[in-house]
Amino acid sequence: MIKLIASDIDGTLVTDGGYDVPDELHEVIRKLRAKGIQFAAASGRQWASIESIFDPVKEKIFYLSDNGAYIGCHGRNLFLNPIERKTVMEMVEDVRTMEGLEVMLSGPDVVYLETKDREFLDWMINDYKFRVETVEDLTKVQSEFIKISVYRKTDVEIYTRHLREKYGERLKITISGDMWMDCMRPGVNKGEAVKILQESLSIKPEETMAFGDQLNDIEMLNQAYYSFAVGNARKEVKQAARFQSDTNLNQGVLKILKLLL
């Protein structure tokens, strides 16, 4: 019997940077909970962004945000995984020297940006629904940080190769889509977050279903026997998953959940 469902958001439930999920999904989540099945939204997004998407059922789901660096539920965080400050500041200085890249630091409840790109800032606030604070100097922010995000409009994987080579042993680095490189404390990923949730709820991988589309979803898929790559997923994700659903645009996840019910 399935007892836990974990799903990525961008590229899996919605388009990258999208916001609207069908109302039917919220109703399905309610029905799953009535049957004793937990639902966890696992994303590189901030928890506040996840909560906005799932507002009608925000008290009925778990948030595995910041690629697993934050595990929580409505009203409180349960587990946080901060990064060593020295490493964070060093990467900020490096990204500042690289043309076309933006760096964003995620605290437990606020993301910090020193960007001058108003369009990018508006996108983060209005589309992603992040709690954002703009600052003059990120190195002066007195907060613990759970994720470093590097953004580029396109081809971020190509333009961040040097950063991955330099910091690969000090951080868990993953590519999320065409625009984001996310960095967490070593050992932190969506799969580990799902594992913590499983152990806390006494749920086995054989009782878990997971959905994803990008490289940062692979560890999560490996933590669930019923692992699904959506039809639009990267080939590496399709190879890692046991099963495949329809695409995100065709509501692939929702179709499988309705079959489950």
Q: How many CB atoms lie within 10 A of CB 134?
A: 13
Cα distance between residue 69 and residue 188, in whole Å:
6
Helices (H) and strands (E) in the chain, counts: 10, 14
In a shared domain, residues 114 and 231: no
> pLDDT tens digits, residue range 57-85?
999 999 999 999 999 999 899 999 999 99
Q: Enter the tokens of residue 81.
A: 């995984």
In a shared domain, residues 196 and 161: no
Q: What percent of the chain has pLDDT over 70?
A: 100
In a shared domain, residues 44 and 14: yes
pLDDT at position 204 is 98
Cα distance between residue 83 and residue 86, in whole Å:
9
In a shared domain, residues 32 and 122: no
Q: How confident is the model at residue 15 (pLDDT cuts 50, 70, 90)?
A: confident
Cα distance between residue 203 and residue 127, in whole Å:
34
pLDDT at position 18 is 77
Could you list the residue range(s) of the whole structural domain that residue 166 is in? 85-184
The string over 137-146, giving b where at least 16 C-beta atoms fall within 10 Å of a residue's C-beta and e elsewhere, is ebeebebebb
The CATH number given to whatever domain includes residue 138 is 3.30.1240.10
> pLDDT tens digits, residue range 162-193?
999 999 999 999 998 899 999 999 999 999 99
pLDDT at position 227 is 98
Number of residues assigned to the chain:
261
Q: How confident is the model at residue 111 (pLDDT cuts 50, 70, 90)?
A: very high
In a shared domain, residues 103 and 227: no
Among candidate residues 184, 204, 234, the one where a domain is terminated: 184
In a shared domain, residues 171 and 203: no
pLDDT at position 177 is 83
pLDDT at position 176 is 85
pLDDT at position 27 is 97
DSSP bridge pairs for 78: none
3-state secondary structure of 166: helix
Four-point Cα dihedral 33, 24, 222, 4, nearest 10: 0
In a shared domain, residues 109 and 158: yes
Q: Enter the tokens of residue 70.
A: 């934050």
In a shared domain, residues 176 and 226: no
In a shared domain, residues 213 and 232: yes
pLDDT at position 20 is 83
The CATH number given to whatever domain includes residue 70 is 3.40.50.1000
> pLDDT tens digits, residue range 186-195?
999 999 999 9
Among candidate residues 184, 210, 231, the one where a domain is terminated: 184
CB-CB contact of 55 with 138 (8 Å): no
Among candidate residues 118, 149, 184, the one where a domain is terminated: 184
Q: Are strands 147-151 and 208-212 parallel, antiparallel or unpaired?
A: unpaired
pLDDT at position 201 is 97
Q: How confident is the model at residue 100 (pLDDT cuts 50, 70, 90)?
A: very high
In a shared domain, residues 152 and 24: no
Rounded to the nearest 5 percent, the helix, strand and coil shares of the chain are 40, 25, 40
> pLDDT tens digits, residue range 18-70?
778 999 999 999 999 999 999 999 999 999 999 999 999 999 999 999 999 99
Residue 196 phi/psi, 5-degree rounding, is -60, -45
The pTM assigned to this predicted structure is 0.91
pLDDT at position 145 is 98
> pLDDT tens digits, residue range 114-163?
998 999 999 999 988 999 999 999 999 999 999 999 999 999 999 999 99
Average pLDDT on 219-247 reads 98
Average pLDDT on 229-253 reads 97
Task: Kindly list the distances between the CA atom of residue 166 and the CA atoms of 69, 75, 177, in Å, as whole numbers in the listed order.
Answer: 21, 37, 21
Residue 89 phi/psi, 5-degree rounding, is -65, -35
Rg (CA), the chain: 17
In a shared domain, residues 192 and 76: yes
Q: What percent of the chain has pLDDT over 90?
A: 93
In a shared domain, residues 171 and 217: no
CB proximity list for 217: less than 8 A, separation 6 or greater:
8, 12, 42, 190, 210, 211, 233, 237
Counted domains in the chain: 2
